[in-house]
Amino acid sequence: MGKIQVETCHIEGLKVITPQVFGDQRGYFMETWQQKDFESAGIDVPFVQDNQSGSKRGVLRGLHYQINYPQDKLVRVVNGAVYDVAVDLREGSPTFGQWFGVLLSAENKKQFFIPKNFAHGFLVLSDVAEFTYKCSDFYHPNDEGGIRFDDPDIGIEWPYEDGVELILSDKDKAWPGIADYRHS
């Protein structure tokens, strides 16, 4: 493989990517996407859209998924730090409903590959965070679904900080639990 290190986890398809960083007295350089390296790692995805969001400490976005137009995503943080989570929603998967989380930061430069049919969300741990992601399909209005970030049936262990107020959108506060997803 080229200039990336790839870690897998207990949920098939999820991958944490650490790029090789070249640094000197001027700063650093790294490749954030190199098609051949990612193909060698089993990520052969035609990305068609890049997105970026900015959030402040305590913002929790998610858990989101696309209903009719599922997307593969490659996410990373370019400023600050977040705890990023993916939940397996693949029907028939032996890990359906299980989650995996990873710290993504500007400092560690890690990226997280999330295949289609996973719910995704993140919690901002720094004063501010800029979050970028590549998507394998275009944005389709009204195609977003969601699952409660605090669903006890999933049991995500979010790294809440004492004294930090959790900030969610009204939509993210209202998502149902995974039990309702199973019947949809």
Enumerate the active-site residues. 64, 133
Is the CA virtual torsion 45, 49, 55, 59 positive or negative? negative
Residue in the block written with tokens 């989570």: 85
CA angle (102 as vertex; 184, 36 as ends), nearest 5? 90
The span from the CA of 135 to the CA of 121, in Å, is: 15
- Taking CA atoms, 117 is separated from 30, 111, 127, in Å, by 29, 18, 31
The string over 10-42, giving b where at least 16 C-beta atoms fall within 10 Å of a residue's C-beta and e elsewhere, is ebebbbbbebeeeeeeeeeeeeebeeebbeebe
